[in-house]
Structure 1
Amino acid sequence: MTVLTRPKTAFATGPVLVVAGLAGLALLLTSGRYAGGFDELYFLVAGRDHLDWGYFDQPPLIPALAAAMDWLAPGSLVALRLPMTLAAAAGVVVTALIARELGGGRGAQVMAAACYATSGIVIASHWLATYVLDPFLWTVVSWLLVRWTRTRRDGLLGWAGVVTAVSLETKFLIPALWAAVLLAALWLGPRELLTRPKLWLGAAIAVAATVPTLVWQAAHGWPYTHMSDVVAAEFPGYGSFARDALLGAGIGAGVLALVYGVWRLLRSPELRPYRYLGVAALGVAVAVLVLHGRANYVTGLYAVPFAAAATELTRRNLVRWWKAVVWPVFAFSAVVTLAALPVWPATARTSYGPFQLGSAFAQGELPQQELAKAIGQAYAALPADVRARTAVYAEIYPFAAVTEFYGAPYGIQRVYSGHRGYWYFGPPPESADAVLFAGFDPGQLRPYFAHETTVVDGLLWEYDGRTAPWRDVWPALKRQ
């Protein structure tokens, strides 16, 4: 058994907490803008009205979390997004802790924290989403592995299993990380990682915690397996994937730290015990690329390279002018990150040259809100007797989620859709023999109704005179 005896450096508590606090404050102050994103509103509807052990497109944690926050502060976007704000700030701290484990002093810890704080993870943390919480959980697992590598305290592996269990309630991606880590450890060492009983105890905890979700998936025909087809269909190409994965680390310091950090993990003698984590990160990235996954699937890999880059950079005897460049680069990165948050008026331009501005959030959120308003007004305008027997049906789940969230003032209590997870929420009641359809392809419902009326050309149609029971119609409406 090899235990590293690198001298312990003090944790830069004050400076790191300042960096984390600034990142969290920026998110908190902008979290009420501009409106709800369709994914987070879908999570809210799923958790609030259809809480279950699983869903078509994800495990249950984020929907349950959304429901809990809405119960505490109904309708508040600030409250809804607060868990992601806290996760982003915590991720900053954990990245600094990784730098400390690698032997980085106060400067390295602050630099590593700043890399995380100016990365795309923090920008994405404006929304409540699986792709925000899961990278934080990967970061915690990475810290536990780095710490175990240094100390060989096997209890850390048990805790890694607990965090993995939470991750598996968020997304089903973390087994890819563990597979890459174990294969890399078997190849490069430390091979004793695979022989530790507490590693397998942690694995058992993770599996046991996931059983209810797996039972739900099995009972519903393993719908999550179809998500790979959905994601692959959206694949932007290898070049775009590589660009997005790199820039997701942060324009400026982040992308430089990511590349330099991976290189040093693979080449530095001082980081030789942690080389397996660098190889594992590359393995996961290549697998996601080959399988046509999304670029945000790899954001959970950023923390260790960030920490390695900061640690190695501070070990070098840099010339004075190069030292003078480092902090201005971080200042530039901070400005870019802040500008990418919704600090602008909703009507502001969405980009400045190659830089995306936070007003782009408004371009996605506000039109959806206006769509819900249009659907709500059309529904409210129906005669009372017709409205009582009319179900609101959306062609795609984003339309359904935003309409259900914003529809209450118009009398809309429930929206139906055959798209992805919404199909599993069930059909309208048999008493609903009319439908207000929102979408682009009215042909979906046309075969099942006697009458069709255009309400808003290209967007809204009214159907009446249903010709078959919903129990027969609903299977045919399933879409992914």
Structure 2
Amino acid sequence: MTDRTAVRTRLARALPVPITGYRPTDPLPAFATGWVTVIALGTLALLLLRAGRYDWYGDELYFLAAGHRPAVSYVDQGPALPLLAYAMDAVAPGSRTVFRLPAILCAVGSVVLTAVCAREFGGDRRAQVFAAAGAAGAPFLIFQSASLSTFAVDSLLVALLLWLLVRWVRTGADGLLVGVALTGALAFQVKPLVPVLLAAVAAGVLVFGPRALFGRPVLWVAAGVAALTTVPALAWQAAHGWPQLGMGAVIRGEQLAVAGGIVQLPVHVISLTGPLGTALGLAGLWALVRTPELRDYRFLTAAAALLAAFVGLAGGRPYYLAGLFPVLFGVGAVAVVHSRALFRLGAAALGAISLALTLVLLFALPVPAVREPARTQREMSDRLRFTGTTGWAEFTAAVEKGYERLPAGTPVVTENYWQAAGLEALTELSSVYSPNRGYAAFGAPSESARTVLYVLAGAPEPGWRALFPDATAVAAADRPLGFPGLSAGVTVWRCERPADGWAAAWNTLSTNHFDAGW
């Protein structure tokens, strides 16, 4: 297996600037416990301080609603996040800080894991600390910890899976392959995208090696057991018409509207990694390609390229690549720290800039004032990034006002799943439905329900008018600078049951497209 001492000496020659001052006789590095711990604890403290500043994100409340309806799979995710959301709300009901604690711990875990990756590639204490600082200064850390989300957990699990593979290359300990299979199985239960990563890794191993990986019986046994854990979710998906495959087209459309497609992907990745992270990632890729002693790790380069191609061509979210950051930052930190002084000085300057930017963002966001309405999906995405979700109080007040003259137990139907999740979590309304995304699978109103309160974002579509010809507007939330679909463009209608019943209407109304009324 790979000798870390030889790897570190050769990393120097991989960079355009030669590494100097390292003696090949130096012992293998110990873990830089002290400074990495300081960085990790400092990161934890800062993230906890700002955890409650953002109001609830719609997806968070949807995870909570799904957690109250346990299932082996859902339209747009696995069962792990709903269960986690349910558990955190049970610990401290209504606390956003506690609710987001798993996301915060995952972000801190990514910082520590990045330092561990640097050590695995032979990095000394300086490289480990530098790698941890790169992870702590990456803007992705802010997004990862701002809300309880699939990518907050998934990115750490992917990074852990890759680190286990890297460690297996060095040690050959087959128990690590069991860890790879179990980590992949857990990641699948968060969001079923891990097969794409595993396919990219397998392709990289086939091309660059180490092909001995495929000859390990324990890998296939562990992978087989892990595959069995996916059977219930796959059966659910098959029974419901594979809705997660349909979500791919929806996400692609949203991503094109927000981010502009594959041409803009590098820009968005740089916005996630920051100045130092970008430098470390590029240095890591360069070192993996150019260092002979790292040839057994070149599958990482192929995996990164294939995963980036998938994200770009399939229209995936740029943060799907975040699981690669710890490994690439780790090997890049080793290469940079052992370079010439001028090169190290430049990297240190980038590190200072990255940490400063991250601190500014941590304390400045969310921005309290909104000066322009959000009229498009891109504008709404920018608003979410800088202000978070706002307008819940106005939205719930409008719906409750419309409900005042209706009998208790009257169903409420909403246009999108954020609205439904917000009403379920933030009001006393007991019968809330939505034909949007995962909520559509939760069911339609009972056929005995002759009257409903229907919440629309924007003007009614002709098809909706045909289903509810006698709909009467009873309340509204429409502040000019309000949040689309919550405190802007919302009308609450009193509607009678469709002529063909709710089951038929649900088939017509159900959609994966998220409409906030812009």
TM-score, normalised to structure 1's length? Answer: 0.91
- Write the letter of the residue equivalent to 2:315: H
Number of the residue aligned with 2:142: 123
CA distance in structure 2 between the partners assigned to 1:450 and 1:273 by the alignment: 67
Does residue 93 of the first structure (1) align with residue 112 of the second (2)? yes
Does residue 256 of the first structure (1) align with residue 274 of the second (2)? no
SS in 1 for 2:76: coil
Moved more, 437-446 or 165-174: 437-446
Does the Cα contact within 8 Å between 1:389 and 1:434 map onto a contact in 2? Answer: no
Does the Cα contact within 8 Å between 1:165 and 1:210 map onto a contact in 2? Answer: yes
Instruction: Write the mapping of 1:344-359 to structure 2, written as runs, cut at 5 A.
Output: 344=365, 346-348=367-369
Number of the residue aligned with 1:425: 442
Among 202, 218, 224, the residue aligned to 1:182: 202
Note the C-alpha offset of 1:350. 9.6
Q: CA RMSD in A?
A: 2.2
CA distance in structure 1 between the partners assigned to 2:54 and 2:159 by the alignment: 29
Number of the residue aligned with 1:354: none
Deviations along 1:210-258, one digit per CA (max 9) or x if unpaired, are 1121121122121111011111112222222221122211x22111212
Does residue 4 of the first structure (1) align with residue 31 of the second (2)? no
Deviations along 1:260-279, one digit per CA (max 9) or x if unpaired, are 22122111234333122122
CA distance in structure 1 between the partners assigned to 2:275 and 2:315 by the alignment: 26
Deviations along 1:86-137, one digit per CA (max 9) or x if unpaired, are 1111111111111101000001111111111122331112110001110100
Does the Cα contact within 8 Å between 2:203 and 2:302 map onto a contact in 1? Answer: no
Moved more, 109-118 or 455-464: 455-464
Does the Cα contact within 8 Å between 2:4 and 2:121 map onto a contact in 1? Answer: no
Number of the residue aligned with 1:478: 510
Does residue 442 of the first structure (1) align with residue 460 of the second (2)? yes
SS in 2 for 1:169: helix
Question: In 2 relative to 1, CA 5–306 (structure 1 residues): closer, same or farther, beyond 3 Å?
Answer: closer
Instruction: Write the mapping of 1:407-422 to structure 2, written as runs, cut at 5 A.
Output: 407-408=427-428, 412-422=429-439
CA distance in structure 2 between the partners assigned to 1:85 and 1:331 by the alignment: 22
Note the C-alpha offset of 1:372. 2.9
Deviations along 1:417-451, one digit per CA (max 9) or x if unpaired, are 11111100101123432222222243354333352
Number of the residue aligned with 2:265: 241
CA distance in structure 1 between the partners assigned to 2:183 and 2:436 by the alignment: 31
CA distance in structure 2 between the partners assigned to 1:168 and 1:248 by the alignment: 23
Does the Cα contact within 8 Å between 1:181 and 1:276 map onto a contact in 2? Answer: yes
Number of the residue aligned with 2:493: 462
Does the Cα contact within 8 Å between 1:266 and 1:275 map onto a contact in 2? Answer: yes
Instruction: Write the mapping of 1:266-345 to structure 2, written as runs, cut at 5 A.
Output: 266-319=289-342, 322-341=343-362, 343-344=364-365
Number of the residue aligned with 2:127: 108
Instruction: Write the mapping of 1:124-143 to structure 2, written as runs, cut at 5 A.
Output: 124=143, 125-143=145-163
CA distance in structure 2 between the partners assigned to 1:216 and 1:330 by the alignment: 46
Does the Cα contact within 8 Å between 1:23 and 1:122 map onto a contact in 2? Answer: no
- Write the letter of the residue equivalent to 2:465: R
CA distance in structure 1 between the partners assigned to 2:44 and 2:266 by the alignment: 28
Aligned length: 462
Moved more, 325-334 or 187-196: 325-334
CA distance in structure 1 between the partners assigned to 2:290 and 2:146 by the alignment: 36
CA distance in structure 2 between the partners assigned to 1:67 and 1:343 by the alignment: 30
Number of the residue aligned with 1:191: 211
Identity of aligned pairs, percent? 39
Deviations along 1:335-354, one digit per CA (max 9) or x if unpaired, are 21122236557525799xxx
Does the Cα contact within 8 Å between 2:398 and 2:492 map onto a contact in 1? Answer: no
SS in 2 for 1:454: strand
Does the Cα contact within 8 Å between 2:283 and 2:336 map onto a contact in 1? Answer: no
- Write the letter of the residue equivalent to 2:128: Q
Does the Cα contact within 8 Å between 1:389 and 1:431 map onto a contact in 2? Answer: no
CA distance in structure 1 between the partners assigned to 2:401 and 2:124 by the alignment: 60
Number of the residue aligned with 1:171: 191
Question: In 2 relative to 1, CA 414–336 (structure 1 residues): closer, same or farther, beyond 3 Å?
Answer: farther
SS in 2 for 1:464: strand
Number of the residue aligned with 2:483: none
Does the Cα contact within 8 Å between 1:38 and 1:368 map onto a contact in 2? Answer: no
CA distance in structure 1 between the partners assigned to 2:371 and 2:299 by the alignment: 41
Moved more, 465-474 or 126-135: 465-474
Does the Cα contact within 8 Å between 2:168 and 2:176 map onto a contact in 1? Answer: yes
Q: Which runs of 5+ in 1 are unaligned?
A: 352-357
Question: In 2 relative to 1, CA 350–15 (structure 1 residues): closer, same or farther, beyond 3 Å?
Answer: farther
Moved more, 167-176 or 326-335: 326-335
Does the Cα contact within 8 Å between 1:112 and 1:307 map onto a contact in 2? Answer: yes
SS in 1 for 2:389: helix
Number of the residue aligned with 2:82: 63
CA distance in structure 2 between the partners assigned to 1:345 and 1:55 by the alignment: 31
Question: In 2 relative to 1, CA 13–176 (structure 1 residues): closer, same or farther, beyond 3 Å?
Answer: same
Does the Cα contact within 8 Å between 1:391 and 1:436 map onto a contact in 2? Answer: yes
Note the C-alpha offset of 1:60. 0.5
CA distance in structure 2 between the partners assigned to 1:350 and 1:90 by the alignment: 37
CA distance in structure 2 between the partners assigned to 1:35 and 1:119 by the alignment: 23
